Amino acid sequence: MIKELKTAFIIALMSLTSTSMQAQDLLARQAPVDKKMKKVDSVALNRLIYQEMLDNPASDLYDEFDNLSTHYRANTPLPDETKIDLRDFCMPTPSRVITSNFGARWGRQHKGLDIKVYIGDTIRAAFSGKVRVVRNEGLRKGYGMYIVIRHYNGLETYYGHLSKWLVKENQEVRAGDPIALGGSTGRSTGSHLHFETRLCGVALNPALMFDFRNQDVTGDFYTFKRSTYAHESAIATSLRGANSTMNNGGRFETDEDDDSEMAIAAPEASFAPEVHFHKVKKGESLQSIARKRGMTIDALCKLNHIGKNIRLMPGQILKYN
C-alpha cells in the first residue's frame, strides 16, 4: 500500500514538474513574440503619428491647412509663450551675407531677412513640413515668385523673389530638400532670397533662430515669449544682422500694415551710419545718380547689389555713401 502511494506521489510530482516546465517553455517562446508585437505596434503607432503630422502640420497651433491666403490668420490668438524645436533644420542657402535686416525699413516693416544669392542658386527647405503656398505676385509686387512651407515645429517659412519653383502645393518636403532657385522677381533691386519665419501668421525675426554667418541655428530650441520678444529681436539683429550693430538706440516701431492679428514691435534695420538713401525720380539713371551723389556707378551698384543694366523705377530707393 505504502509502495503504491509512493508511486502515485512520484507520478503526480513528475506531472506537475512537466506542466511547470511546459509553461516555462511556453513563456520563453512567447517572450520574443511579445517583443516583436510591441515593436510592430510601436512602428504602426509612429506611422500613424507621422501621417497625422503630414496631413496637418503643427496641428496644435493651426486649425486648418489653408492654401488660399498667403498669411494664415489663426482662429486662436498667438500664444503668450511656446517652445519651437530647431533641431531638424537645414540652412536655406549656404550664403552668409545678409543684405537687409528684419524691422522698420524705408517707412514700413521688412518682415524677413534678405540673404544674398544669385539667380539659379539652390534654395532648400529649412525644416521638414508641407508646402502650403506656391504663387507668383507678379513682376513688380512684393514677393514675386514665392513659397510658403508649414513645418511640424509650428513655424511657417517664406521664400521670396525666386526664379523657379521645384515643388508644388501640398507636397511633403524634408529639411534640406531643394524647393526653388534664387532670383530677383517681384519688388527686388537685385538677386537675393527674402526669408521669413512666421508663427500663427505673425512675422518673427529670423535672426532669433538662424545664424546665417555661422550657417547654424541659434540653439536646439527657441522659446517665443510675447513679453520679451521685441527686446530679444533687437539683440538678435545686433548679433546676427547686417553690419551686426544695433542702430537708433534699439528703437522699436510697430507695423500699422501688419497682416497679422498682432503687430509685433521690431527693431529698425541697422545700416552703417554713413549710408544715406536716394529716391529715384523719373528720368534718372545710374550715371546721373552716381554723379549727383559723388560716387562711381560701380560703387553705387555694389552698395545696392544690382547690375549696371538694371532698369530703374521711379520711387525706387538706392543706398549711397
Q: What is the DSSP string of 120-173?
A: T-EEE-SSSEEEEEEEE--TTSTTSEEEEEEETTSEEEEEEEESEE---TT-EE
Cell numbers standing for residue 113: 531677412
- Please check the confidence at residue 4 and state whether its pLDDT lies above 70: no
- DSSP, res 116: -
Domains, the chain, in order of start with CATH, read 81-267 (2.70.70.10), 276-320 (3.10.350.10)
Residue in the block written with cell 493651426:
62
Average pLDDT value for the chain: 78
Instruction: Pick the closest to residue 242 from 268, 220, 222 (CA basis).
Output: 268
The pLDDT value recorded for residue 151 is 95
Helices and strands (H and E) in the chain: how many: 4, 21
Distance separating alpha carbons of residues 254 and 265, to the nearest angstrom: 5
For residue 94, what pLDDT band results from cuts at 50, 70 and 90?
Answer: very high
> Using an 8 Å Cβ cutoff, are 151 and 126 in contact?
yes
Q: What integer is the mean pLDDT of 75-100? A: 89
Amino acid letter for position 276: H
Distance separating alpha carbons of residues 233 and 225, to the nearest angstrom: 11
Q: Kindly state the percentage of the chain with pLDDT values over 70.
A: 68
Residue in the block written with cell 500664444:
79
Q: What integer is the mean pLDDT of 66-90? A: 81
Cell numbers standing for residue 318: 538706392
The pLDDT value recorded for residue 51 is 57
Distance separating alpha carbons of residues 46 and 266, to the nearest angstrom: 40
The pLDDT value recorded for residue 205 is 95
Distance separating alpha carbons of residues 162 and 195, to the nearest angstrom: 11
* 71: enclosing H helix or E strand: none
Instruction: Pick the closest to residue 210 from 219, 200, 201, 202 (CA basis).
Output: 219
Distance separating alpha carbons of residues 54 and 279, to the nearest angstrom: 46
Distance separating alpha carbons of residues 172 and 182, to the nearest angstrom: 21
The pLDDT value recorded for residue 33 is 55
The pLDDT value recorded for residue 197 is 96
The CB density around residue 150, as the number of other CB atoms within 10 Å, is 24
Give the contacts of 6 (CB within 8 A, at least 6 positions apart). none
More confident of the two residues 9 and 141: 141
The pLDDT value recorded for residue 32 is 58
Q: What integer is the mean pLDDT of 195-224? A: 94
Assign 24 to helix, strand or coil.
helix
Amino acid letter for position 105: R
Distance separating alpha carbons of residues 8 and 251, to the nearest angstrom: 98
For residue 190, what pLDDT band results from cuts at 50, 70 and 90?
Answer: confident
Q: What is the value of pTM for the model shown?
A: 0.62
